A = this chain, B = another copy of it.
C-alpha cells in the first residue's frame, strides 16, 4: 500500500520544508515525493539538512510544472485544505482517508496522489477542484495553520497505521465506498478525467449552455459532481461518446437568427 502513494507538494517556498517532508515520509515508509512549480530553490542544502538522511527520497524527486501533470497517473486524488470552501466538496479526515486508501490500494493499478499546498495560502480553488476528496486535519480553529512538514507527518503517520492494521491478518470490514475492490473497470486516471472535463466544457460551449466569459461556477460544480462518482475508464469512454454525438448535433444544426 505505502509504495502506491505519491506525495505532491505544490508551490513550496522553503527548502527546509521539502527536506522535512522527505524525512517524515521516510519515517513512515513512504518513498515517492514530487514537487509542482516549487518557489524554493531545489536541490538546496537546507532541504538536505532537514531530511536528516532521507536523501534517497530527495534524489528521486520529480518536478512538474503543473498539478495536472503530477496527478496524471493517480486514480485517487486528495488535496489538503484548511478552510471550508465556497463550493462544499467531499471532505474526509486523515483517518478516513487512510482507511479508504488501505482498501483501494490493495489493487496494484491504483495510486493515491496526496496534494499539499503552499505554506502561506494552501491550494487554489482550481487545484482543489482537481481532487476527488479534500482532507482536513482537525485542529485548533484559532491556530489552524500546520507547518507543511508537520502536515505531511500527520497524513503519513495515518497512512502507515492503516497499512499496519491491514497487514495484521484480520481484514477490516469495508467502511469506505465499496466500489474500490470489486469493480468491472479500472478507475479513470487524472489524465483521463482532465481530458473528459475539457471535452465537456467545449461541448457545453457548443450547445450554448456555457459562456466562458460568465462561468457562474459551472465547471466547478460539474467537476465536483463527476469526481464524487469516481468514474471508471469505461464510464469516461461512454460519457465522451455522448459528448461527441452532442457536438455533432450542435455543429450540424440549422442556424436560426
Contact = CB atoms under 8 A, between A and B. Distances in A.
Interface stretch (A37-45, A60-68, A89-97): A89-97
A176 B175 contact: yes
A151 to B, nearest CB: 9
B242 A252 contact: no
Given A153-B154, A175-B100, A249-B246, A222 B207 contact: no
A155 B228 CA distance: 26
When all copies of this chain in the complex are counted, the total is 2
Given A138-B160, A248-B207, A249-B253, A145 B184 contact: no
Nearest to A161: B138
Contacts of A52: 145, 147
Interface stretch (A4-12, A20-28, A110-118, A191-199): A20-28
A226 B229 contact: yes
A88 B27 contact: no
Contacts of A209: 241-242, 245
A15 B119 CA distance: 21
Contact of A140 (B27, B137, B207): B27
22 contacts: A23-B150, A27-B144, A27-B146, A29-B139, A29-B140, A52-B147, A88-B179, A88-B182, A88-B183, A88-B184, A90-B178, A90-B179, A91-B178, A96-B175, A146-B153, A147-B153, A175-B175, A177-B228, A207-B248, A221-B238, A222-B238, A228-B230
